[in-house]
Structure 1
Amino acid sequence: MSAIAGTRDQCRADLTLTYAVHNAFRRDAALLMSASYSEDVRDGASIRAGWLTLKRYLAVQRTAKDCVLWPAMRTRLAGQPQELEILESMEAENAEMDPMIRKIDAALSHDRRFRLREYAEDFSTSLLTHLDREEANALPLVQSVLSQQEWRAFCDEQRRQVGLKGASSFFPWLLDGAPDSTRSQILSLLSPPLRFLCRSVWQPRYERTPHWELAGAA
C-alpha cells in the first residue's frame, strides 16, 4: 500500500465535501437522539421531516459507494486481502444499520414513539462508530489508491442522485450549523450563481421549514 501511495500523492482525493457530509450526519444523529426524548405529539411532523432528510442523504452516499466507489477500490486493491477487508467491514456496517432504519421508520409512522429512544440510540451509536472507522481506515485508503478521475466519478454519482433541484435542499442541510470555515469551503465549490441562490433563496427557505424542532424548545 505504501508503494501505491507514493505514486499517487499528487492525485489525492479532495475529501472536503465528504467530511462535511459526515459532520452533518453526526449533527442529525444528535438531533435524532434529542428528539427521541420528547413526548409531545406536536413534535411528530418535524421529527419525521428531519429523519427523512437524514435518511435520504445516507442513501445517496451509500448508493454512490456501492455503485462507484467500492468497485473502483476493489479493482485497485486486487490481491491485497487486508485492505479489501476494510471495504468489506464498511459494507457490513452499512448493512447492519438497515434494520435499525426500518425500526425508526416504524416508530415514527405507527405511533410507536415509546420505542423511538431505544431505536435512535442503537442507530446513532452504529452510525457514529461507522463514520469514525471510515474516516480512520477507509478514507486514507481511498486517498492512497484512487485517481482523481475515479474520485470525481464517485462525486458525480452523488451529484446525479441529488440533482440540480435537490441541490436547493442539500446544501442548506449540509451547512446547517457548520462552522464558518466549512461554510466557506463548501460554498467555494459552487458557481457564483448557485452560491448566490444558496445564500439568498435556498438557505432562507430551509430555515423556514421545521427540522427536528421540539414543541417545548424555546
Structure 2
Amino acid sequence: TFNIAFLNAQAIGETNNLDHTVQPQTPVEKPAGLPNVEWDILRIESASRENLCQRQIAYCSNNCGGPNEAPKNFCNATTMAWGCGCSRKTPDFTPFLWPVVQAECSGKAQECQMICNTDKIHPSTCATTCNAYYQCGTDKAPPSYLQTENPSDAPSYNGPPKSLDAATSDNSSVASNTTQNSNSGSAYLKPVYLFIAFASTTALTSSVLF
C-alpha cells in the first residue's frame, strides 16, 4: 500500500511543493486527572494498518476530486505517516474524520478506559475524564500528529513533535526576554525623569527668589 501510494504521488506531480495540504488540528488542553496514555497506532496489527492506509488514500483521493487531483497522497503502513494534498484546492474534509486519525483516537480512548479499570479509588471519575478528552469523531477530538510532509518522515505518536515544542518554548523565551528588557529600560529611565523634574523645580525656585 505504501509503495503504490508513493509511486502514484511521484508520477502525478511533485509532493514537496504543494500548498493545498490538510490543515493541522487545533491542540486540545488535557483535563486534570487524565491518565498517561502511551498507546500508539503501531500496536494495530500489520494487516489492519494496511487496510487503514487503503481507506486513508481513498479518502484523500475522494476529497481532492479523484486520483489525478491528488498529487500528494500517501500512507506508510509501517509508520502510519500520511499526507494529502490536492492540486486544485485544500482538502476540506473534517480533520478528525480521517480514517487514520479516528483509529488513533479510538485506540488511545480504549487504552485510557483500561487504565481507569485499574483505578480502585475513583474509577468513575477517571472514566469521565477519558470521555471528556477523547471525543473521537467530533470537533473536540484531540489532535493527531501522524501527518507528515513526506512518506519517509517519522510521525509523532504521543503529543506534538519535539521541534514544535522547541519552537513554542523559544517563542516564550523571546517574549520573556523582551518583557525583561522593556522593564530594565523603564527602570533606567526613572532616574532620568527624576533628575529632570528636580532640575526643573530648582530652576523654578531660583527664578522666584531672584
Query: TM-score, length-normalised on structure 2?
Result: 0.28
* TM-score scaled by length of structure 1: 0.27
Structure with more helix by fraction: 1
Which structure ranks higher in relative contact order (CA pairs < 8 Å, sequence separation ≥ 6)? 1
| Pair member with larger Rg | 2
